[in-house]
A and B are shown apart, each in its own frame.
Chain A
């Protein structure tokens, strides 16, 4: 009796401790979100209780540059995700199920991922300016798609490996081509993995900063660059910056919370599996 009581008491105490740690941990983010709801006058006060206002949100959403950057981010991230999945899924399927010498390619793909972005920024900048594609959506989409290919192939290969090879063999014996196996059997069976990979790619594209900073000027600039634009445009207008930060981070935060299980699996896969 006393044992069970102390056990559940211990559980409750640990849970409360966890909750407190969670609150402390997320305090920086929470503080930024709160800043978005403050009036310019009491931005930097320590008070938690204040009269919330939507001034910051109104000024940000009323700003045509901010709206344009957000739209650019939506276009670039969505198309990047589509391109990556279209290119990575067949490759991952081949590496997982087809008679192919693929481990060398997988290693190559990983080495490519280790190469610092800054290292190829300059040549890409030079090539893009020669081709006249600086400040276009297309250049960002092609680059982001390529940068995310290695990870997507690696991740998707794991999901395809989970599908038993016998299913493919049976379909082949029944007269399916490899393409039909891929489209009609493998894709539906790995749909949750494909969605998870897509979320990863979307988040990465949404958050990218360096290439957007160097390769765009204003027409194709993405949301993270709005943070820079706002800082100089508004000086110390923290509510506007807080509101912009909240709006920019909300899509990825929602993704993370909704896709919790998949994200954890994606993060730990390849790194610790096997």
Chain B
């Protein structure tokens, strides 16, 4: 038996192992041509004065002018601010609600698995569909939310008006993503060491102390990873926002993605648009660096 194993190892070392790379070649080629290619092209485009409606303008060099223009535009920083606020509030809200639901579901319940299945629904529904039916709910004159408010004796709210559109967008996104946090945190809860809980109980820790000193520290990594994942996805959100508000009213819900899209298909200024996009890439990569580091460490560990 050991002889056989050794033979296999010698065999492997003796031959130049090219085969593994053949298995990866199609994936590498696809990612390089369809992803890296356009990225490099975008970097090049961002240093030109290319406007689609002006033939020949793609050859006009611009150096870093586009970047200077974008970074000097108040509307760009407004979009950055809205993106970060949107991401922060939406992730915080769905993390909080998701944790509460997970704590509830961690009890022995009837039809717990049924509950878990139906909670998956919001996560997978087509975002374009989500935006449309939230628009229906937010309808100002006869929408169901306002009808409920009136029935309870409150005044109608202009959900998609200037004052509330931002929160309407946050509520819609949190609604969709609370179940994601619930499921990840539930997975965390179910791996809490029961010996530790028993020990804490014997030591006289009450329910809140047990949560604060035993459960919560165990959950923190789960919460951070889930928040990082959702945070990055939320920053990239486009379809739900576009269909709910088109970035309006005014610039109230214009995130960087919406801003980029608007500039691209209204000014046709490719240089400027790609400069915005590249700055956005840097923002996203910086924001996701801690997550990447963690995942890299996990991947390195022999599985």
Could you tell me which A residues sit within 8 Å of B by CB distance?
11-12, 14-15, 17-19, 21-22, 25-26, 28-29, 31-32, 35, 44-46, 86-88, 90-91, 93-96, 98-100, 102-103, 105-112, 114-124, 126-127, 142-143, 145-146, 149-150, 153, 157-158, 161, 169, 172-173, 177-179, 182, 203, 206-207, 209-210, 213-214, 223-225, 227-228, 231, 238, 241-242, 245, 248-249, 252-253, 255-257, 260, 263-264, 267-268, 270-274
Please tell me if the beta carbons of B151 and A123 are within 8 angstroms of each other in the complex. Answer: no
Contact with A253, one of B4, B30, B121 (Cβ below 8 angstroms): B121
Cβ–Cβ < 8 Å partners of B26 in chain A: 86-87, 90-91
With an 8 A cutoff between CB atoms, is B303 at the interface? yes
Q: Count residues on chain B whose CB falls below 8 Å from chain A CBs.
A: 108
Known: A178-B19, A209-B242. 6 other contacts (CB 8 A): A88-B27, A112-B31, A123-B39, A126-B45, A207-B127, A260-B120
Q: Chain B 101-121, CB within 8 Å of chain A: the 1/0 string?
A: 100110111111101111111
- Cα distance, A18 to B103, chains bound together (Å): 11
B contact set with A: CB distance below 8 Å: 4-5, 7-8, 11-12, 17, 19-21, 23-24, 26-28, 30-31, 34-39, 41-42, 45, 101, 104-105, 107-113, 115-129, 131-134, 136-137, 139, 141-144, 147-148, 151, 175, 178, 180, 183-184, 187-188, 221-222, 225-226, 229, 232, 235-236, 238-239, 242-243, 256-257, 260-261, 264-265, 270, 273-274, 277-278, 280-281, 284-285, 288, 292, 295-296, 298-301, 303
CB distance from A115 to the nearest CB of B (A): 6
- B107 — which chain A residues lie within 8 A by C-beta? 11, 14
Q: Is the CB of B110 within 8 A of A31?
A: no
| Inter-subunit contact B128/A209 (CB<8 Å) | yes
Task: Give which listed residue, A105, A116, A255, contacts B277 with CB less than 8 A.
Answer: A116
- A118, B284: Cβ atoms under 8 Å? no
**A–B complex contacts, Cβ < 8 Å, 13 sampled:** A46-B151, A122-B270, A122-B273, A124-B38, A146-B31, A245-B133, A249-B126, A253-B121, A264-B120, A264-B187, A270-B295, A271-B184, A272-B187
